Amino acid sequence: MELSIGDLTHDGRGVARDEGGKTVFVTGALPGERVVTRRVKRGRRYDEAVALEVLEASPQRVQPACPHYGQCSGCVLQHLAHPQQLQAKQHVLAENLQRLGGVTPERWLDPLPSQPWGYRRRARLSVRFVAKKGRTLVGFRELNASFVADIQQCPVLDPRLSALLPPLAECIDGLSLRAAIPQVEVSAGDTQVAMLIRHLQPPTVDDEARLRSFAETHSVALYLQSAGPDSVRWFAGAPAGLSYALPDEGVDYDFGPSDFIQVNAGLNQAMVAQAMAQLDPQPGEAILDLFCGLGNFSLPLARRGARVTGVEGSPELVARARANAERQGLSVDF
């Protein structure tokens, strides 16, 4: 069926209405476009469809840079020019603030500049052995499916992480427990790369040898997780922990392979700098940092002499924040 797209959802789908007035969410379509679609799911309140052909294209439509776009669910807006992606996200945020909170911002700050490619320094990847392909796949889920996308690279990931995708899949494919590995988390610090493999059965001696070889060959700190968060243990490769620095603020942070961090390093530096400029913290001034994590904002505030109280729900991150502050001689109440 042909549809005219009027809006964009928070997850990048076009919004249209069919001839009967029913809402249809269309994957791969942009506002202002007229598209030929195929309905893939019917619901009581709305239907879902995919765009098969663009009859009238938006001037903001661009060619996606990733060869896996459209199959992989890791990205949903690569067909929209980057400046318009930022506008679309701001539009969704404004709608939610009004609809859920009943508030409208008096002023919007300009979006902070950032690199659209090679910025993501942390990701959780799915793993699945596919008998029909005769090999193991490592990547994000397929779009609108539970399968793992067959990807060889990811231009959004830090290049050090993207380069690991093919050899990682090959390594796991040679393990006896390849069908018992549901996920892998990859993380990149300023100078280190780490990998956390979740496994549902113990590795054999041969498995351990293969994993050690992979870690040493690719200079990766390899961690294993057999159960909950408390079961994470370093296994092979460089034992030094991950870290990142905020040079302009004179602070740095140690973090673990499963710790929450801001995934965009460059944007994080700009975000902290903007927060410091907006707050202009003075020595002795009391500042409350909610959801403080490992101290991403707390430490720069304390470095400027503020009396900072950081509040965080994760005991692991609280411990990490305290250690980061104490190591650098900063007084923060976490």
Domain 242-333 has CATH 3.40.50.980: no
Task: Specify the pLDDT at position 127.
Answer: 97
**Mean pLDDT of the region 90-96:** 92
Which pLDDT value is given to residue 71? 92
- What integer is the mean pLDDT of 233-262? 93
* CATH entry, 122-236, from 2.60.40.10, 1.20.1250.20, 2.40.50.1070, 3.40.190.80: 2.40.50.1070
Predicted TM-score (pTM) of the model is 0.91
- Smallest CA-to-CA distance from 171 within 254, 252, 236 is with 236
Of all residues in the chain, the percent with pLDDT exceeding 70 is 100
Can you give the residue ranges of every domain in the chain?
A: 2-97, 122-236, 242-333
Question: pLDDT digits over 22-65, tens only?
Answer: 999 999 999 999 999 999 999 999 999 999 999 999 999 999 99
Distance CA 178, CA 164 (A): 17
Banded pLDDT at 113 (limits 50, 70, 90):
confident
Fold of 2-97: OB fold (Dihydrolipoamide Acetyltransferase, E2P) (2.40.50)
Decide: 25 and 49 in contact? Cβ < 8 Å. Answer: yes
- Of residues 264, 268, 257, 106, the one with CA closest to residue 187: 257
* Tokens 């067909």, residue located: 79
| Residue 253 predicted with pLDDT over 80 | yes
> Which has the closest alpha carbon to 183: 236, 257, 118, 234?
257
User: Alpha-carbon distance 181 to 211, whole Å?
Assistant: 13
List C-alpha distances in Å: 57 to 14, 30, 123: 13, 8, 32
Rounded (10°) CA dihedral 94, 95, 97, 101: 160
pLDDT value of residue 144: 76
Tell me the pLDDT of the chain averaged across its residues.
Answer: 95
CB atoms within 10 A of CB 208: 15
Contact between 88 and 80 under an 8 Å Cβ cutoff? The reply is yes
- 210 CB neighbour count, 10 Å cutoff: 17
What is the structure's pLDDT at 177? 96
- Contact indicator for 81, 62 with CB cutoff of 8 Å: yes
The two three-digit tokens of residue 95, written as one number:
């709608």
HEC string of 105-157 equals CCCCCCCCCCCCCCCECEEEEEEEEECCCCEEEEECEECCCCCECCCCCCCCE
CATH topology agreement for domains 2-97 and 122-236: yes
Token look-up 């460089």 returns 238
3-state DSSP assignment of residue 308: strand
d(CA 223, CA 226): 10
- The region that residue 236 occupies, defined by phi over 0 for left and psi between -120 and 50 for alpha, beta otherwise, is beta
* Confidence (pLDDT) at 241: 83
Predicted pLDDT at 239: 74
pLDDT single digits (tens) 123-177: 999 999 999 999 999 999 998 788 999 999 999 999 999 999 999 999 999 999 9
pLDDT digits (tens, 9 = 90+) for 266-323: 999 999 999 999 999 999 999 999 999 999 999 999 999 999 999 999 999 999 999 9
What radius of gyration, in Å, describes the C-alpha atoms of the chain?
23
